[in-house]
A and B are shown apart, each in its own frame.
Chain A
Amino acid sequence: MTAVALVMHWQVAVAVSIGVAIGILVGGLPGLTTATAIAIVLPFSFFVEPLIGLPFLIGLYKGGIFGGSIPAILIATPGTGASVATILDGPALVRKGNGRKALEMALYASVTGDTASDVLTLLLVVPFAAAALLAGPPEMAAILFAAIVLTIIAGTTSWLRGAIMACIGILLATVGRDPLEFGQRLTFGMDILEGGIPLLPMLIGLFAIPELMRMIALRKSATGRIPPPVDPGPGLTLGEFKRAGRTIARSTFLGSIIGIVPGMGQPVAAFSGYAMAKRASPRPEEFGRGSLEGIAAAEAANNAVNGPTLIPLLTLGIPGDKITAILLGAFVAHGLRPGPQLVEQHGPVILAILLAMLLSNLLLLVIARVLIPAVARLVTMDPNLLAPIVLVLAWTGVYLYRSDSSDLFFLALFGVLGVLARRGKFDLAPMVLAFILCESLEYSVGQTLNLARDGVLEYLLLDRPGAIIILLSVSGVALWVGLSEKRSLS
């Protein structure tokens, strides 16, 4: 009841509404991703209470994931990675004169998938937190290691490149004070490095600078200049929505499961949901040629990831993807350090934030209906105008983090790294995740070694078999994925 009382404030609704609206606009702009937008506006949220700042960011997250489907449907350009599967049917429906039906199906499927998965999150977060409390340093170390490995093998196209990026993340995270002895490491006498590499300038550099580069490179291409369809066509009927009911339910379930597993994310959920719907459909030949069911499957699945991805984040401190990695920074900045003790110590606030997620779905339904026509026009916005706005917001976000203009040098450094990584097709997610988890991992490994002074293997085998089981399971999965990749290459 305390949680309900906490969320029943008009400021929360206003914050969520603004977040959802910005999210839809950002998601709708093909030049700007939701992760970039959250990284940029994150420092702005530090200046308000957690119950306003965090729901604002969550609203932006949800709005952004839905918003990405608008350009995917209208101009065959995904606004976010999550909406890539929507391209398979959206533009075909637009060509048939059913653009409005496609957009409305995307909206209703997104909201249904999101709401159902948020209810599941509310039901699961407390049992997960209780189970997480049983984990000691060896289990925590094993879980953190498993999260990094899973992100490498599940979230990237090449596990080798993912492993390189994760090692870079760990190496960068070790700069500054070591978490066990508090001595200086890899600072080379530079004051700027004493506190370690700042997370936010790094994130904004990694995500915003490559986006700016992309806008510059796209300025002469035709991608942003395709006119949206003039005639939106008729709206979605209740019968059409009902016919997609089973598909939405199936995709929601699948998306929720994928959301709980770190490293998988929305694109995997969207494609899996789409493939599953196609297999189960009595009319599979319609998929890819303008099927409303195809849109429903992809959109319900990718939005169903949003809520459950917060379960490992809140209970274990493990972000499931790039966006939740950035959200982790927001929770920490607001004094809510995600981990096994979070729900025990801040239960009402956490439940209130989860309730605000449900509220954001309701607001998404209303705000999206109003904003869709505006976003349909915005998808063709000239990147010449968008890029300077991104620059101003990114610079401001970096400065606001510590009120230190030297952080702009980190922005430049990580901007170069981000551009090179993107051009070389190295995924940034393992690097960001490893950077964030490294301190906890090193601390847990150190504690485990201290506890097992007489012999690590003996201690783990006899006293903490849980850690061994987690490590063996993740090794098995990694081996299987490695062998499959080798087989597919040969």
Chain B
Amino acid sequence: MLNPACLFLILVTTFAAATLAALPWAVDSPQPLFGSLVSVLSPGTFPAAAALGILVFSVIEWVRRSRDGEAEESSLQPALERRGMVVVILLVALSALSFDSLGYVLTLMLASAALAIFMGCRSPVQLVIVCAGTPTLIYWVLTRVFTIYLPAPG
């Protein structure tokens, strides 16, 4: 199985290669002003240099890792963390979709309660105090004290 460093290297290398390939049409051409270019530096130079840098350094790191046979273990629990990541990312995505319709308080109440239950919290008192109390208190402080707009249900 791929270790986290390898997975990270594969992802960033793919991202850099895709960016490099897309650069010719993903960057607006510089428009001349009074017949001459505003800057000698092309808008594509920095993205191209950065993408190339990622590719070159990743390849060197890859070679170094395979030569040295580096084995890295995380002190955390990978399976639990993977499941946790899926839950948190799902919660973020669902919150983004429901924020404007369900409102701030309800969205965050549900999201934080889902996380607390996933983490093993079964006490109704704790759930109410933490998951309902925190967003309600913050909503009250921000909207009443600081008069900041936060989405309400509906």
Binding site for B on A (CB under 8 A): 47, 158, 160-161, 163-164, 166-168, 170-171, 174, 178, 180-181, 183-188, 209, 212-221, 383-385, 387-389, 391-393, 395-396, 399-400, 403, 405-406, 408-409, 411-412, 415-416, 419-421, 423-426, 438, 442, 445-446, 449-450, 453, 489
Q: How far, in Å, is B105 (CB) from chain A's closest CB?
A: 10
Q: How far, in Å, is B8 (CB) from chain A's closest CB?
A: 4
Contact with A along B29-42 (1 / 0, CB 8 A): 11100000011110
Size of B's binding interface in residues, CB under 8 A: 81
A446 touches B31 (CB 8 A): no
13 contacts between A and B (CB under 8 A): A164-B53, A167-B54, A178-B28, A185-B43, A187-B26, A213-B88, A215-B119, A385-B130, A415-B92, A416-B85, A421-B8, A426-B5, A449-B41
Q: How far, in Å, is B39 (CB) from chain A's closest CB?
A: 4
A391 touches B130 (CB 8 A): no
Q: How far, in Å, is A390 (CB) from chain B's closest CB?
A: 9
Residues of B with C-beta under 8 A to A185: 26-28, 43-44, 47
B43 touches A178 (CB 8 A): yes
Binding site for A on B (CB under 8 A): 3-9, 11-12, 16, 19, 22-23, 26-31, 38-41, 43-44, 46-47, 49-51, 53-54, 57-58, 60-61, 64, 68, 72, 74, 76-77, 80-81, 83-85, 87-89, 91-93, 95-96, 99-100, 104, 107-108, 111-113, 115-116, 118-121, 126, 130-131, 134-135, 138, 142, 146, 148-151
B47 touches A420 (CB 8 A): no
Residues of A with C-beta under 8 A to B113: 388
A412 touches B60 (CB 8 A): no
A389 touches B134 (CB 8 A): yes
A425 touches B47 (CB 8 A): no
B81 touches A216 (CB 8 A): yes
Complex CA–CA separation, A158 to B26 (angstroms):
32
Complex CA–CA separation, A421 to B83 (angstroms):
17
B53 touches A420 (CB 8 A): no
Complex CA–CA separation, A425 to B96 (angstroms):
29
Residues of B with C-beta under 8 A to A166: 53
Given A164-B54, A185-B28, A409-B93, A388 contacting B99 (CB threshold 8 A):
no
Q: How far, in Å, is A212 (CB) from chain B's closest CB?
A: 5
B53 touches A405 (CB 8 A): no
Complex CA–CA separation, A391 to B30 (angstroms):
43
A interface majority secondary structure: helix
Most A-side CB within 10 Å, residue of B16, B57, B107 = B57
Complex CA–CA separation, A221 to B95 (angstroms):
29
Residues of A with C-beta under 8 A to B7: 420, 424
A387 touches B116 (CB 8 A): yes
Residues of A with C-beta under 8 A to B64: 160
Q: How far, in Å, is B111 (CB) from chain A's closest CB?
A: 6
In the complex, the 4 A-B pairs of residues with the closest C-beta atoms, listed nearest first = A183-B28, A216-B84, A423-B4, A388-B112
Q: How far, in Å, is A389 (CB) from chain B's closest CB?
A: 5
B88 touches A168 (CB 8 A): no
Given A181-B31, A412-B92, A384 contacting B54 (CB threshold 8 A):
no
B92 touches A424 (CB 8 A): no
Residues of B with C-beta under 8 A to A218: 76
Partner of A400 from B8, B9, B11, B148 at Cβ < 8 Å: B148
Q: How far, in Å, is A269 (CB) from chain B's closest CB?
A: 25
A180-B41, A384-B121 known; 12 new pairs, CB 8 Å cut-off, are A171-B47, A174-B50, A183-B43, A186-B23, A186-B47, A215-B119, A385-B121, A388-B116, A389-B112, A423-B8, A425-B4, A449-B41
A212 touches B88 (CB 8 A): yes
B8 touches A450 (CB 8 A): no
B134 touches A388 (CB 8 A): yes
A161 touches B61 (CB 8 A): yes
